[in-house]
Structure 1
């Protein structure tokens, strides 16, 4: 049988274990997908942004890179918002888009991806259009290696549609690469000595601890040092058990409040996160007086741009393991004393004070308390409800690794389709953990078409849509920024139940919390997705 670019590429993908595609194909992709192999799976998303986010969730759930196939030019443009999130999530994705026939590229015909390699930048680690058809399989091998090497992230291939039937003389070369960066031993010893001499140390863990399966070693280091533990601001994954007595919660998302929160510590080390994520702008010093900051990340760009602190490039979990052995403790074991935790746990902003609302509707806190009452074992929480984030985390502390996912970018529209990818990953890995997705009614509109993919795959996801009829988080910013009279912050008259049913989901509007609990329990054991619209009091939460 004659080898072609297509056959050699699919054989390579088989050997790499990359047989699951996510995508929304167009005319320039059909030649690649021709006679799609029976041992491959293609998950259709109804819009490219959803395809990217579904693949991102799947890759995070399975721990393997994922393939995304989008249409040329405008299709890649549609995908860009969630491609930004995938880059900041540090998720290994291989994103492909078709390109027009090579013979027509010079005159830039309709649907040409003009300067194709520039369009997805700077949000991909590598962007390439092969110079020859014969280079396509090798480009996939390099793309996989690049996506998986630290720091992980998405890559992009632009693939002309007339390449696939060209003959190949030999199969593709399959290579393996290392996925982790060991920290410099001498530099690590310096950090260990500084931490050993600290009187009041703080450990600030980031999402890389969870991505690297590092909860156990993070806990061991904290307990050995007797250190207060914080989550880095706006962590997209939970790095530490939130019921642990040393856990103090997520750091604030703004410069001045973050500095104030660290007051009293003489040494702090950030492991597996940037220094720091800030938004909104609140003036203040980067650090309180007398605090020595250390920083470990596998991303040289993160360590380079940190405005303060002494940095070390290395894998977050490998570095934490090494510090566990290198840090000296007094001859008497450290006394592990409880710290005062933030009641809102991982959330970077405080929760709304408990109150009764005059509207008669339940508050967000009431709804989340009800959900916590029926929380199943090992449940995975995916959230995109910015104005209710603190109330959610107060009611639902994260106590197991890899059970919380959100977006590192803050760009709406990632979490709903990502929850579909996560649920597919739960199915394909055989874990079958229940998935709860909490989303605001504004966020829900960005990628609503992903419900169809959930329904088509019969995924037992429970979607909770918090219906307050407004962009509540933007009203919070309006207060902070002193900008009254901003238009477009209310979103009345959307029938969420009808939208969900139109995409094939069971759906109901629920105002009674006991009914909500019953429907959530039924949804977790059901045969497909359930969308529950829950009207809540339209409060405006604090940001600081």
Structure 2
């Protein structure tokens, strides 16, 4: 039998060998939107593999991303040749920047006539650009199981999507025992503690001890139980303010702690002002420093020294920090906390956040009213998945993250993440209440995900802030000194779309309706298996500034 030819009766196929690899690595939930090039793999899928359908590839990858982040292990994705991979590229970019490990199988036309570029043949290897951490179309059908094992290794070690392109006829080819795996069955990630005499920890400790006024920036890479505990220990020893990185995908420090100072501004003038009194700033699992719109000048004043602690080699390589430490974040910070001297008396006493009063009769709701109502009702272990660009500062101020995985967003900045990611988080962590807070414009990028939430019993509360326009874009156009050419879309009903996709929804237009809905729904979030959309009418302009 030649390589790639169909297996005889009784022979093990490439598909069977690949299924063994998937089981070995715990890749038994398949997030997919399939096409013809995937049929030979998916038909008669064994009962121990769970198939999860989404109606668009952005939702497929978004759900898998939320699942992978919540489980801290790779999720399995299957996409359909050029159209499927192309539709998913934006979501794959988000997964890469959010450091979500994904094993992505992409279908390809039959290997036996690829040279003639038949219908549905894809030029796939470069289609997603540099966002996959690894891409491979195996040379032979028999190398597919090993490539899947290798993709698992790459996804784990590099924290992102690893892609395997599989021609559709490969699944039915005869497998070879020697080609079953070409990578370790398990990749262990020990987190070594720095030795007592670690020179890097000693140098940074001396720098902090010699500082007149240190400050800390906490980042997404510190969002673990160990990371939070270590950074709380360091901050309390230094008795110094802790800032959250700007536009972070996750929270790196408890935002209800007395030392939490708020979220960093994402422009250089305000950043220089923020750190004007600090002579040493140490960023822990966060870049130095994430920017948005360009402004000239330095990131910090000349008298301020910056330190980066990161386990991301790319982040270390591009950082303008004065000193960069490449190390596992939590154990290094824990060691650092044990080396620095204790300061007392000079630290901040927490932020005073003033919640807005309910609107007067006849006045419209604002996002801040919604966040205040949520803050009064949700538990500390609630996972908030955010995608509301025009009201993100208010949400940060009024809905602080109080537990690891308490906040999740798209570090890439692209829209269409929150709805599917919240579903994936809820599927992975049913013991955590999950609320997605999104703008109506954002929701429309992946509104199809609501069908999957209803179909698979993901009991997420989707709070959609509906102002009928791209409010953040309107604001930017005004700052630019002109008027936008894009129209409002206030004739679009998110609640009607949700109903059409089989997801329960209700329209909320008054504060009384909002409070009644939240009082009914929020207490059920821990146990509910039915999603619900609150389509909340809010004013377009910002009426609250934290």
Same fold per superposition (TM over 0.5): yes
Q: Which of 401, 409, 420 is 1:406 aligned to?
A: 409
- Aligned residue pair count: 527
Distance (Å, rounded) in 2 between the aligned partners of 1:341 and 1:454: 37
C-alpha spacing 1:442/1:22, structure 2 compared with 1 (3 Å) = same
Alignment match of 2:79 (pick from 70, 76, 100): 70
Equivalent-residue separation in structure 2 for 1:358 and 1:387 (angstroms): 25
Say which SS state the counterpart of residue 261 (structure 2) adopts: strand
Partner of 2:281: 268
Alignment pair present for 1:490 and 2:502:
no
Which consecutive residues of structure 2, in runs of 5 or more, have no partner in the other structure? 1-9
* Corresponding residue to 1:380 among 383, 388, 400: 383
Aligned partners of 1:136 and 1:487: how far apart in 2? 50
Checking the alignment, whether the CA contact within 8 Å between 1:374 and 1:517 is kept in structure 2 is no
Taking a change above 3 Å as real, the CA distance of residues 380 and 297 of structure 1, as seen in their structure-2 partners, is: same
* CA–CA distance in structure 2, aligned partners of residues 304 and 255 of structure 1: 21
- Distance verdict in 2 for CA 1:357–1:120, change over 3 Å: farther
Moved more, 304-313 or 395-404: 304-313
Asked if 1 retains the 8 angstrom alpha-carbon contact of 2:218 and 2:253, the reply is yes
Find the counterpart in structure 2 of residue 469 from structure 1: 468
Deviation per residue, 1:415-461 (Å, 9 max, x gap): 1110110111123xxx2x21111111100100000000000012221
Asked whether the equivalents of residues 98 and 160 of structure 1 are also in contact (C-alpha less than 8 Å), the reply is yes
Using a 3 Å threshold, how does the CA distance of structure 1 residues 145 and 464 change in structure 2: closer, same or farther? same
Aligned 1:166-181 pairs, distance under 5 A: 166-170=173-177, 171-172=180-181, 174-179=184-189
Give the deviation of 1:227 after TM superposition.
2.1
Residue 447 of structure 2: aligned partner? 448
Q: Would the aligned equivalents of 1:464 and 1:531 in 2 still touch at CA under 8 Å?
A: yes
- 1:56 equivalent in structure 2: 65
Q: Distance in 2 between matches of 1:543 and 1:97?
A: 46
> Residue 268 of structure 2 aligns with which residue?
255
- Cα offset, 1:108, TM superposition: 1.1
The match for 1:528 is 530
1:182 CA drift (Å): 5.3
Contact preservation (8 Å) 1:460, 1:523: no
Runs of 4+ residues over 4 Å off in structure 1: 180-184, 353-359, 540-544
In the alignment, does 2:245 pair up with 1:232?
A: yes
Distance 1:157 1:543, change over 3 A: farther
Q: Is the 8 A contact 2:308 2:321 kept in 1?
A: no
Deviation of the 1:225 alpha carbon? 1.7
Which residue is 1:435 aligned to?
Answer: 434
Confirm or deny that 1:295 pairs with 2:301. no
Number of the residue aligned with 1:163: 170
| In 2: Cα distance, 1:196 partner to 1:145 partner | 40
Of 341, 345, 348, the match for 1:329: 341
SS at match of 1:28: helix
Task: Tell me which residue corresponds to 2:348.
Answer: 338
Matched residue SS, 1:10? helix
Report the alpha carbon displacement of residue 383 of structure 1 after superposing the two structures with TM: 1.2
- Equivalent of 1:514, from 495, 512, 515? 512
2:111 and 2:156 map into 1 onto residues whose CA distance is 30
What is the deviation of 1:515? 2.4
Query: Cα offset for 1:534?
Result: 0.9
TM-score (norm 2): 0.91
Residues in 2 aligned to 1:493 and 1:14: alpha-carbon distance in whole angstroms:
47
Decide which moves more: 445-454 or 60-69.
Answer: 60-69
Counterpart of 1:152 in structure 2 is 159
Q: Which runs of 5+ in 1 are unaligned?
A: 345-350
Equivalent residues of 2:55, 2:449 under 8 A apart = yes
Structure 1 counterpart SS, 2:170: coil
After superposition, the CA RMSD in angstroms is 2.3
The 2-side partners of 1:415 and 1:238 are apart by: 16
What's 1:364 paired with? Answer: 367
Aligned to 1:132: 140
Deviation at 1:377?
Answer: 4.9
Distance 2:380 2:315 in 1: 36
Q: How does 1:15-34 map to 2 (within 5 A)?
A: 15-34=24-43
TM-fit CA distance, 1:157: 1.0
TM-aligned CA deviation for residue 354 of structure 1: 8.5
Q: Secondary structure at the match of 2:423?
A: helix
Asked whether 1:499 is paired with 2:497, we answer: yes
Query: 1:181 Cα shift?
Result: 6.7
